[in-house]
Amino acid sequence: MPLRTPSTSTQPTSEDPLSRERAAYITKAARSVTVANVIAPLLCYVAFQSDADPDRFRLWLIYMFVATVIRTFTTGRLDHQASEIGNPQVNLNWVTLGVGLIGLGWGLGWWLLVPDLSMENRLLYLYITTGGMFNSMFAYCVYWPAFFSFTVPIMVPAILTVLTPHPLFHWTVSAGLFALFFYVVKISRNFSQSYETSLRLRLRNEKLYQELTTERDASVAANTAKSSFIASASHDLRQPMHAVNIYLDSLQMDRIPPAEQQTIQKIKSSITTLNEMFESLLNISKLDSLTYRPTHQPFSLALLGASIEELARPLAMQKGLDIRFSGDPGVVRGDVKALQQIMMNLIANAIHYTDQGHIDVAWRTERHQLVLRVQDTGRGIGTEDQAKIFNEFYRVDETRPLHDGLGLGLSIVKRLCQHIGAHITVASERGQGASFTVYTAYPVQGDASARFDDSASASPHGTSQSLHGKVVAVIEDDPTVREAYRQTLASKGAMVVVLPDDPQTLLQELELLDHLDLIVSDFRLRTTTGDVLIQTLREAFNREVPAILVTADTSPAHIHRFEEMHIPVLHKPISFQQIIDASEKALASASPEAHELSP
């Protein structure tokens, strides 16, 4: 058990890290020379027993034995780790006592042993004591009381031997010993200062590291809280918005008077803007979920430009803007979906802040790598705002009342560029439009006939398979939404089976069902979750039935979970057409005979 004193002064002094480190160092150093403290007297016993006075030699050996035992006992029971030391001064005092007893013993040897020794043995004793003193330079000099308690009892008698009636050495040896002692103290002082300086630097660096760690943890916590807030707010808002979308889609416009149709169209336009905001929140959640993995596949620049133009031109025409596309043909290897999203966000941003004029979308090759640019004739961005526009939820004060939005579009662009290793710059002046340029690391091949994957960039919908004649199971606890799903899928020729969301009742219903082509399920149900029921259905049919999850949950954890399940997810609010497109795509992506589950 480590030594402690009953005094109140032995309470932990964690406020003095220098003393703690110094105590840990000197305690460890004292322990490291324990073997030497035992061997040195034994060596003297072997070398001097036939030369020294027996009585005085015996007295000296007894003292050295007792001093070594005390030193070994006290030093061995001390804490030698800085994290374990209660009061560092306790360790320092005990070490000082132990090494002082040893130093005093070697000092007594100059009076008790050396006068009777031959010159050879005198020099041997001198060698042993000076060796111990040299060791003390680095072992004890970090705490001067311990250093001097060992060296002074050794060196003072050695120097004073010249004053005895029969000097042990010539006076020049004593002078040399005095000079040696002087330089030992000087070297020890330099080492002590270097040790303390390096120790202060290390402690300061540790403190800075702890502060950085604290700031990092606070930043991570804030980012997690932000993601949680976005996901929670998004979920609570998406549910009613999903119902609004369903109701609007179910309206039969040909039966509504023309005067009211204009009002409904305005409502739909506002809902479209809200849907875009929800999509931005979803994109942020997807990036926060760390499930995004860049792909590297060849694709055609011409087809990429065509797909972007197909999506962007109607948006520009709604504001009466001319949008122009230009660029050389070629094949690029990279993430075509990320580029599509980057370009569409930049184009949407340009359309928002351009009231008249045109928007130029261009791509070129620089140093054999793809460079993209979106330039507009809009309001422009002031110099003071250009460093902030890529921050989440930031919107320029001057244009905030003029346009709807959350200020996430450019933040998504910036983060996508970081994911794919691209760099984005902005050049703009207030009132003179803005130009965004994306420098990618994607290599461009001039041969447009090279092989590429045209499925990713040819059409935003991809390949599909008809729902006609397919048996589709719908699991939804909201009666209005459930009926809307049933009517939508049935209108495309599907045979719709509405299944309960209770697992026990579901198994009973399955006894009447011998085949299933597709599952469309809500995620959050009354008694369970959609992924559990999908797995139940797949196990019941012993095959991986294609499935779609519909949810308002956009938390990064759930997005990551859905990604691992390899089940397509539709995030509310969604339209009828999205249900149909996703259902057809899920059927197309499945093999003609969905493979059996492993037993």
CA distance 459 to 306: 9
Asked whether residue 540 is domain-assigned, the answer is yes
Query: Percentage of the chain with pLDDT > 90?
Result: 6
User: Are 444 and 530 in the same domain?
Assistant: no
User: Are 401 and 503 in the same domain?
Assistant: no
pLDDT in tens, 499-555: 988 888 888 888 778 889 899 998 888 888 888 888 888 888 888 889 998 887 766
Side chain identity at residue 322, one-letter code: D
Asked whether residue 40 is domain-assigned, the answer is yes
Asked whether residue 234 is domain-assigned, the answer is no
Q: What is the pLDDT of residue 239?
A: 62
Q: What is the pLDDT of residue 270?
A: 65
Kindly list the distances between the CA atom of residue 483 and the CA atoms of 62, 473, 478, 537, 599, in Å, as whole numbers in the listed order: 102, 12, 9, 21, 36
pLDDT in tens, 309-320: 887 888 888 888
CATH number of 429's domain: 3.30.565.10
Asked whether residue 232 is domain-assigned, the answer is no
CA distance 232 to 403: 25
Q: What is the pLDDT of residue 374?
A: 92
Q: What is the pLDDT of residue 161?
A: 74
Q: What is the pLDDT of residue 378?
A: 85
DSSP, collapsed to helix, strand or coil, labels residue 365 as: strand
User: Are 43 and 22 in the same domain?
Assistant: yes
- Quote the number of domains for the chain: 4
DSSP state of 596: B
pLDDT in tens, 450-473: 444 444 444 444 445 688 889 999
Pick from 460, 448, 424, 438: nearest CA to 332: 448
Asked whether residue 226 is domain-assigned, the answer is no
| Domain of residue 526, residue span | 471-589
User: Are 301 and 424 in the same domain?
Assistant: yes
Work out the burial of residue 203: count CB atoms within 10 Å of its CB; fewer than 13 is exposed, 13-18 middle, 19 or more buried: middle
Q: What is the pLDDT of residue 259?
A: 73
Strand segments, DSSP code E, in 67-178 are none
Asked whether residue 227 is domain-assigned, the answer is no
Which residues in the chain come in under a pLDDT of 50?
1-14, 397, 400-401, 405, 448-463, 593-595, 598-599
What pTM was computed for the model? 0.43
User: Are 150 and 282 in the same domain?
Assistant: no
CA distance 106 to 60: 9
Side chain identity at residue 455, one-letter code: S
